[in-house]
């Protein structure tokens, strides 16, 4: 059975470009949240999110398995994030909240988690984000990271170990 995404993709490829907006509305929030957790800067994340969808539209014909559109989109976002992280290399993270250890409100929790995630290497951070927040399957994460499932699991375990030490 065809997924909702693949039906929409068929329409777009048949010339109904407007239908691409359906894919955007469905995926912009998860992709934005993935990017913002990866790179930390909300405005940059929004620009990257926009770029990802433009790239996806331009390259939609190259998508081989239309039932795996979301994994393909995350893969585009993954590449965009890694490029951005390389560009930002050397920039220091701003201390958002020095008392994150006593976080209680949702805002404080978010800041504490963002800060903790920022301390992980990008591949571990990504594995944690894709699993915990985006709820992707291990094989989907493996396709996005272009790594074996065992590597993805190792990254998740190592990430969790470090986060445990940071968050207490």
Partner 1 sequence: MAHLGDKLAEYFYEELSSAEMAEARKHVDACKECRLEFERFERIHLALRTAPELEPPRRVVFSPLARRSWFSWLEWRTAATASAAAALVAGVVIGFSHVDHNRVIDEARQSDRAWLVEELNKRDAEIQRLRGELTYYENFQRAVMRETLENGSAIQLLAQRARLQQ
For partner 1, the binding residues (CB under 8 A) are 15, 17-18, 20-21, 24, 28-29, 32-33, 36, 42-44, 46-47, 49-51, 53-55, 57-58, 87, 106, 109-110, 112-114, 128, 131-133, 137-138, 150, 153-154, 156-157, 160, 163-164, 167
Is the CB of 2 or the CB of 42 nearer to partner 1? Answer: 42
Closest separation between CB of residue 146 and partner 1, Å? Answer: 19
In what helix (H) or strand (E) does residue 87 lie, and over which residues does it extend? helix 69-87
Is the CB of 2 or the CB of 87 nearer to partner 1? Answer: 87
Is the CB of 48 or the CB of 75 nearer to partner 1? Answer: 48
Closest separation between CB of residue 2 and partner 1, Å? Answer: 23
Contact 55, 26 (CB under 8 A): no
Closest separation between CB of residue 37 and partner 1, Å? Answer: 9
Number of Cβ within 10 Å of residue 94's Cβ equals 8
Give the sign of the dihedral formed by CA 153, CA 158, CA 164, CA 166.
negative
What is the C-alpha separation between 61 and 82, in angstroms, rounded?
Answer: 24
Is the CB of 75 or the CB of 116 nearer to partner 1? Answer: 116
Contact 119, 162 (CB under 8 A): yes
Contact 124, 159 (CB under 8 A): yes
């Amino acid at each position: 059975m065809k997924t909702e995404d693949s039906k929409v993709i068929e329409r777009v490829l048949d010339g109904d470009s407007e239908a691409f907006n359906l894919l955007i509305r469905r995926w912009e929030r998860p992709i934005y949240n993935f990017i913002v957790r990866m790179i930390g800067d909300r405005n940059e994340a929004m620009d990257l999110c926009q770029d990802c969808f433009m790239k996806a539209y331009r390259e939609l014909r190259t998508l081989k398995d239309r039932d795996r559109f979301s994994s393909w989109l995350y893969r585009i976002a993954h590449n965009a994030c890694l490029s951005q992280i390389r560009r930002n290399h050397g920039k220091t993270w701003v201390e958002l909240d020095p008392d994150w250890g006593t976080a209680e409100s949702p805002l404080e929790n978010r800041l504490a988690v963002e800060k903790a995630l920022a301390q992980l290497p990008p591949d571990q951070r990504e594995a944690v984000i894709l699993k915990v927040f985006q709820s992707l399957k291990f094989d989907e994460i493996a396709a996005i990271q272009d790594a074996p499932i065992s590597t993805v699991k190792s990254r998740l375990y190592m990430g969790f170990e470090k986060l445990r030490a940071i968050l207490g």
